[in-house]
């Protein structure tokens, strides 16, 4: 009977190597590694065959601070909610009109692109409101 493989002796995949490489990249970006050390460690990551070897590459690095995450497009205020709803309604109407125009163009030949008159003016109004700060999250 064979003994089970220890977790540190398990083989690693390229996806796992990429995650460790991203960790090293972030550590380099915040100054925990210089370029030479980063390069050496990335080479070690791609040469690693087991989880133990992969964990050894980042064992001496402190935990990375959490990134800010993606910035929301709309704020959580009433204006942000209104802009989110209006944008969804506008995009839906523009998409439906584009589809109707496309079906007409396919069945009867070229048709004047009237759907642009339905999409562009309200889209421009939404863009002006957003540029004026309505519903936009505060800059940090």
51-72 per-position pLDDT tens digit: 999 999 989 988 877 766 778 8
Domain ranges of the chain: 7-58, 78-131
Model confidence at 129: pLDDT above 90: yes
Contact yes or no for 41/33 (Cβ under 8 A): yes
Between helices 35-47 and 14-29, what is the axis angle to 10°? 170
What whole-number distance in Å separates Cα of residue 52 and Cα of residue 12?
Answer: 9
**Secondary structure (3-state) at 109:** coil
Q: How far apart are CA 86 and CA 77, in angstroms?
A: 14
**pTM higher than the cut 0.85:** no
Closest among 59, 53, 56, 51 to 6, alpha carbons compared: 51
């Amino acid at each position: 009977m064979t003994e089970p493989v220890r977790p540190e002796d398990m083989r690693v995949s390229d996806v796992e190597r990429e995650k460790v490489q991203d960790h090293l990249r972030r550590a380099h970006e915040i100054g925990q590694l210089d370029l030479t050390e980063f390069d050496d460690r990335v080479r070690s990551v791609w040469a690693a065959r087991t989880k133990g070897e992969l964990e050894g590459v980042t064992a001496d690095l402190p935990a990375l601070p959490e990134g800010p995450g993606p910035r929301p497009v709309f704020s959580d205020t009433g204006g942000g909610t209104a802009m989110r709803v209006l944008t969804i309604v506008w995009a839906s109407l523009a998409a439906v009109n584009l589809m109707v125009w496309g079906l007409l163009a396919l069945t009867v030949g070229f048709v004047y692109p009237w759907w642009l008159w339905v999409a562009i003016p309200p889209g421009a109004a939404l863009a002006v409101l957003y540029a004026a700060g309505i519903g936009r999250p505060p800059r940090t």
